[in-house]
Structure 1
């Protein structure tokens, strides 16, 4: 009988101790006793989120910056060309007086409706419109040559539409016609020695279907 009573008392004490421990484990921890002061903390956050925000915020091709991830898209084409022309600088003027991100001459600007080069240089959005207009105009002028020569090999390179349009930006559509129709013998070079052939090769294979041929294309 005494043993049974002792066993009951032992069980009761054990239950009380477990309940007490359980309540203690639920107590709120006082975090004020802890501090990160003096610790060398390092956080690594991807830049991808910021880049995505930039692209989502952009509502026109003129808002894109040059990136190696643009690939062979039309935006990739114009940004690669701009990088070669001026390093992508809207306010660049070279030693021959060519202006802006795409290095336009005053006479070319007149043909697409821009009569004030100084204002043009200060206006990035107008420069983007000028590039689109001039490329559309060149594509109309060279439409037959695009049809006849794209896919053919001249001077070791396959002729592509984007190569033709880039070369036309460099030396004008007339120089490109001479190059193609002479099968590479008449190879125009600009003041710095850059040739039609070089641009045909460097800017080949981009998707320029975005540009529609337009004889009367204007920037404004």
Structure 2
């Protein structure tokens, strides 16, 4: 009788242990499902962390190089004039990416300064038109003086046309025909010589000389 009671006790204990075991497992599964739902653990969980050698810091990123052609010329000039800002107006009223005055705009067929300032495409056309017009006005001087040296600077077509954007073609003619002795500076102190040097050596053969160029 005592043996039978002992066996029943053992069986009962095993049932209790097994019961607790399944309950524990079930609770564990339930907790896992709550903490890590299937939709968060399915798929590839590998994350690639870049090595130090693979990281390029902002200051180390390569600066785009614009070749010594017309696009490089106009963007370099625009940066000097306004830092490339289409909506810039300086203290003297010159406006846009290339800092045009109203008188110059009238020469190339632009009569509404407010609309001009809000229209980047028109500003680009205006720059091409004005450069083309200046190339025609200065065509003889370009032919005559390119390759000569004034004030330690070799004269180039792009230098002449950049200076014409700054000072107007008439002043550039006087500078060239005086052998570089004619003095001109804008209201900020920038000279023809400065622009002749800074913007020398660009290939502007893609821009035609056009007396009647309009934006």
Output the TM-score relative to the length of structure 2: 0.73
Matches of 2:193 and 2:44 in 1, distance apart? 69
- Equivalence for 1:120: 116
Greater than 3 Å deviation, 4+ residue runs: 31-36, 42-46
CA 1:40–1:96: 2 relative to 1, 3 Å = same
- Equivalence for 1:171: 167
CA 1:34–1:105: 2 relative to 1, 3 Å = closer
Gaps of 5+ in 2: 1-40, 57-62
- Equivalence for 1:42: 50
- Equivalence for 1:89: 85
- Equivalence for 2:192: 196
Matches of 1:187 and 1:84 in 2, distance apart? 21
Q: CA deviation at 1:188?
A: 1.1
Q: How many residues align?
A: 167
Q: CA deviation at 1:73?
A: 1.4
CA 1:199–1:216: 2 relative to 1, 3 Å = same
Matches of 1:40 and 1:132 in 2, distance apart? 49
How far does the alpha carbon of each residue in 1:152-184 deviate from its partner, in whole angstroms, 9 at most, with x for none? 011111000000000000000001001000111
Matches of 1:33 and 1:109 in 2, distance apart? 62
The equivalent position to 1:146 in structure 2, one of 132, 142, 145, is: 142
Matches of 2:211 and 2:112 in 1, distance apart? 22
CA 1:93–1:152: 2 relative to 1, 3 Å = same
Matching of residues 1-220 of structure 1 within 5 Å: 35-36=45-46, 41-42=49-50, 68-219=64-215
Gaps of 5+ in 1: 1-30, 47-66
Matches of 1:171 and 1:108 in 2, distance apart? 11
What's the secondary structure of 2:65's corresponding residue? helix
Output the TM-score relative to the length of structure 1: 0.72
CA 1:167–1:34: 2 relative to 1, 3 Å = closer
Matches of 1:149 and 1:156 in 2, distance apart? 14
